[in-house]
Amino acid sequence: MGTPGAARLIIASLVAAIPAGAIGVLLILHVKHLGGSYALAGLTAAGYAIGAALTGPYVGRLVDRHGAIPVLAACMVLTAAAVSSLALLTRDSPDVLFVVLAVVGGLTHPPVGAVTRTLLPTVIKNEGTLHSAYALESSALELSYIAGPALIAGLIASQSTRTALFVDAGVLVLGILWFMSLPAPRQWRPAAPQAQRHSRLGALSSPSVRLLLLVITAFSVSFGAVEVAVTAAASGLDARSLTGPLLATWGFGSLVGGLLLATRDAPEEAHRRLLWLLAALALGDLALVLTSGSWAFAAFLPLSGLAIAPAFAVVNAMTGISAAQGTSTEAFAWLGTGVSAGFSAGAALAGPAADLGGASGAFGVSLGAVLLAMLVTLAGRRLLIASSTDPLAFALQV
């Protein structure tokens, strides 16, 4: 990438994001290890995810107003304390305590990804290089969601779920401390107060940000649906134990796609590239719908994931340009909330679809979500073109 400051930001944010990739599985494993029900385990994991989705944009707004260091430091302490407290719970602990502590951990989870995307334009002034950086950041995030379950949940939790939760909290602290020690977050200052006088909508006062939020929420429905669909497909082939490895190949495809995109020049019309990427996702889903009754679907999984990280990278770049001055971190955090909401909706819709039509029905939910994202992008293309060609909007971000 040729920009050491950006590379360090991305690597540090990757380390800080690893705990988030593992926490859901860890909470389920820990509750079950202590003799809790699957219902309690699921509710505990969902509590963390819902907490993070609810407050992410507002924590991002605090970063925009008060700077990254104080907000990240406070969130780091509170989240690490909540996760460590969960590790200390015993079989005799009240069920409600598991859920409450998980919600607290989610509510205060450090928005390191949103901060990273806000800071990248401050260390990269070349548009083409910035485009590559967003692609690499999306790939790094994908890698963290592979490494978290594999290293912390897979290796450590198999020996002790309590130790795994302590390690999860420790990695979070180390990653955030490393991130905060870098020059970019220490030198970055919030926008002037007069630049922050937006409506109560905050970052959503930008029509382009609202549109991009709809797009990313729609195609994130696909992710929850695919997880259910792969589970159903593996079960139908009497290979439920291969669900995790199969999903890992899907994530690996996304990682490769992001790395490939990093070698490409920045697009002149970002919305066109987004449409092509969404079309590639739709074709991949269609192939999965048609082959889910045989092992051929396993070959299409990594191919269907190729466009995921690139699509995220394009949406992130467009959001960085479209967000009003002083709202970038909040805007990126809203995208994270959209991903969480879409994922949850996808899982909820794909469950009944799998009951009715098997894996093909669940993959069909994913296909429908991606097609909806394409329609939203097409309907708002004039707005996206206007925001991406506004030199003032771009200058305010860099």
Count of CB atoms situated within 10 Å of the CB of 170: 14
Q: For residues 104 and 101, give the distance between their C-alpha atoms in angstroms, rounded to a whole number.
A: 5
Q: For residues 259 and 136, give the distance between their C-alpha atoms in angstroms, rounded to a whole number.
A: 6
In a domain, 196, yes or no: no
In a domain, 340, yes or no: yes
Angle between helices 243-261 and 127-147 (to 10 degrees): 170
CA angle, 68 as apex, 66 and 73 as ends, to 5°? Answer: 105
The reply to whether 177 and 274 lie within a common domain is: no
For residue 135, is pLDDT > 90? Answer: no
What backbone phi and psi angles, to 5 degrees, belong to 253? -60, -40
Q: For residues 237 and 369, give the distance between their C-alpha atoms in angstroms, rounded to a whole number.
A: 25
The reply to whether 177 and 210 lie within a common domain is: no
The reply to whether 298 and 332 lie within a common domain is: yes
Question: How does pLDDT run across 347-361, given as a tens digit for each residue?
Answer: 788 888 888 888 899
For residue 395, is pLDDT > 70? Answer: no
The reply to whether 279 and 377 lie within a common domain is: yes
Question: How does pLDDT run across 251-273, given as a tens digit for each residue?
Answer: 888 888 888 876 776 666 778 88
Q: Looking at residue 4, what is its pLDDT? A: 66
The reply to whether 78 and 34 lie within a common domain is: yes
Q: Looking at residue 321, what is its pLDDT? A: 81
For 284, the enclosing helix (H) or strand (E) is helix 270-291
Average pLDDT over residues 164-192: 90
In a domain, 235, yes or no: yes
**Coil, strand or helix: which one is 139?**
helix
Task: State which of 136, 161, 190 marks the end of a domain.
Answer: 190
For residue 225, is pLDDT > 80? Answer: yes
In a domain, 324, yes or no: yes
In a domain, 220, yes or no: yes
In a domain, 248, yes or no: yes
The reply to whether 238 and 352 lie within a common domain is: yes
User: Domain with 332 in it: what CATH number?
Assistant: 1.20.1250.20
The reply to whether 3 and 61 lie within a common domain is: yes
Task: State which of 190, 222, 240 marks the end of a domain.
Answer: 190
In a domain, 133, yes or no: yes
Closest by alpha carbon to 341, among 201, 217, 228? Answer: 217
299 lies in which domain range?
Answer: 201-398
Q: Of 21-35, 84-98, 194-208, 257-271, where does the model show the most confidence?
A: 84-98
**Number of separate domains in the chain:** 2
* pLDDT band (50, 70, 90) for residue 389: low
pTM reported for the whole predicted model: 0.77
The reply to whether 206 and 318 lie within a common domain is: yes
For residue 114, is pLDDT > 90? Answer: no
In a domain, 195, yes or no: no
Residues 318 and 135: beta-carbon distance below 8 Å? no
The reply to whether 175 and 223 lie within a common domain is: no
Task: State which of 190, 216, 246 marks the end of a domain.
Answer: 190
What are the distances in angstroms from CA 234 to CA 241, 244, 257, 300, 368? 8, 10, 24, 14, 22
Q: Of 40-54, 212-226, 373-387, where does the model show the most confidence?
A: 212-226
The reply to whether 156 and 239 lie within a common domain is: no
The reply to whether 159 and 210 lie within a common domain is: no
> In the predicted model, what is the mean pLDDT of the chain?
83
The reply to whether 282 and 183 lie within a common domain is: no
Q: Looking at residue 1, what is its pLDDT? A: 52
What percent of the chain is modeled with pLDDT above 70? 89
